């Protein structure tokens, strides 16, 4: 990114090849919409070129990129007032490694409940879980993205996971009754 920031835009294609899938997954996990996630991914790379002068060598590239991604998502949500999907058919499918159909079905139901629990979380908590658990960012990087100290991020992620666990348990009890 340092070369791109200096004006060598040809290096942007390599960055795109390395990072577009993780950005798409980030957006898809937050929105549940494939087309919107593709558009947002494209928008982030356009913004990275436009705001390349704000990148400083030595900064965490991931934190800088996800800050831009977060702003792009925020702008789109304000512009379009999205609603989260309610059907599990729109969510990612995770194939079971077990051939047993019952196990596969049970895992799919658990995954659907997990996605539902994620959707019921407030957006800020959902974002923290996606960044830490699905995108694999460190608490320090997340702190740079959301503008908080590392310790604060740890506490917020812990509380978000605890709340999601509680929602998931409630959904399981609801399913069982």
Task: Please give the model's pTM, rounded to 2 decimal places.
Answer: 0.59
Strand residue runs (E) in the chain: none
Phi-psi region of 101 (alpha: psi -120 to 50; beta: other; left: phi over 0): alpha
Task: Delineate the domains of the chain, giving CATH numbers in brackets.
Answer: 1-83 (1.10.1740.10), 87-177 (1.10.10.10)
pLDDT at 42: 93
pLDDT, tens digit, 9 for 90 and up, residues 80-139: 665 444 444 444 444 444 455 556 666 777 778 888 888 899 989 999 999 998 888 999
- pLDDT computed for residue 162 by the predictor: 94
Q: What are the E-state strand segments in 47-177?
A: none
* 2-43-13 Cα angle (round to 5): 45
Per-residue model confidence as pLDDT tens digits over 32-87 = 888 889 999 999 988 988 888 888 877 788 888 899 999 898 888 777 665 444 44
Single out the residue of 126, 119, 128, 123 nearest to residue 152, CA to CA.
128
């Amino acid at each position: 990114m340092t070369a791109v920031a200096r004006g060598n835009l040809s290096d942007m294609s390599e960055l795109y090849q390395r990072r577009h899938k993780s950005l798409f997954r980030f957006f898809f996990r937050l929105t549940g919409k494939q087309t919107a996630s593709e558009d947002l991914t494209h928008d982030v790379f356009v913004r990275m070129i436009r705001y390349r002068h704000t990148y400083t060598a030595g900064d965490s590239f991931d934190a800088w990129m996800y800050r831009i991604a977060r702003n792009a998502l925020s702008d789109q949500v304000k512009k379009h007032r999205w609603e989260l999907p309610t059907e599990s058919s729109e969510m990612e499918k995770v194939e079971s490694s077990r051939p047993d159909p019952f196990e596969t079905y049970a895992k799919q139901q658990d995954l659907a409940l997990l996605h539902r629990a994620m959707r019921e979380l407030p957006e800020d908590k959902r974002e923290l879980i996606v960044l830490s658990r699905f995108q694999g960012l460190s608490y320090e990087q997340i702190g740079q993205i959301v503008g908080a100290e590392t310790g604060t991020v740890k506490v917020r992620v812990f509380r978000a996971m605890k709340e999601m666990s509680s929602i998931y348990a409630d959904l399981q009890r609801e399913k069982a009754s």
